[in-house]
Structure 1
């Protein structure tokens, strides 16, 4: 298994195991789940030592899924970014699948490198179990 696959699996398992809980009064369960990124809006260049807001649009799978933040991994100039949803359900909940519900959130990113970044936005897993990424390289402008 590739290193990135192991990292994603590890992060997912830790998030799921650490976040699952059961409230004895309401029988409510929660878990965290990675969801597929549909598109991103990045500038053509980044300015050194500035903070840029990236618009990230993801697919909300069911009406039980709610945005819980971003997760990322950095390696030199590469940044791998995931959207994390919290899933709420109980023994009586029937989560309704959503066909095309797209949600857009902003991710603030501070530019600390002087050369370029390679952003990899997680879009799911293919038939062979390999991760799929939307990959964009963005140069950094230093003034």
Structure 2
């Protein structure tokens, strides 16, 4: 019985070893900040509602895809500033043709404060390496 148990364990280890190959067949990728081209926000928000925010981003090559958004709050200002950066995935491939077209994605935003919101969408860096933003202010309707 002990011999059967040892053979069974050896068989399981062999199967696991073969199925967990560390070959370079896997696609590698990295994250990159994408430049915002435009954003579609409502004219006003209502307190307590959730809105779909559509964002159009620049896709520099055919190996770049939209992944998510980094929406961060500026805690130093009382006007509810949100800085938005579109995060993309760039596949690590040698044959990525330059396309410079736009892609669209969206994120959900819940209005929890009654003050106006200021959205700052990252549009790239200027000639001095300073970040530039598309700024859109959206007032909040009071019921």
TM range (shorter): 0.7 to 0.9
**Mapping of residues 1-143 of structure 1, within 5 Å:** 24-26=23-25, 28-76=27-75, 77-90=80-93, 93-99=94-100, 101-143=101-143
Counterpart CA distance in 2 for 1:59 and 1:50 is 29
Separation in 2, partners of 1:48, 1:105: 24
Q: What is the alpha-carbon root mean square deviation over aligned residues? A: 1.3
Residues 62-105 of structure 1: CA deviation (Å, up to 9, x unaligned): 11101111012102410000111111124xx2211113x21111
List structure 1 runs of 4+ shifted beyond 6 angstroms.
none
In the alignment, structure 1 segments of 5+ residues that lack a partner are 1-22
Count of residue correspondences: 118
Distance 1:126 1:24 in 2: 41
CA distance in 2, matches of 1:67, 1:75: 24
**Structure 1: distance between partners of 2:141 and 2:53:** 17
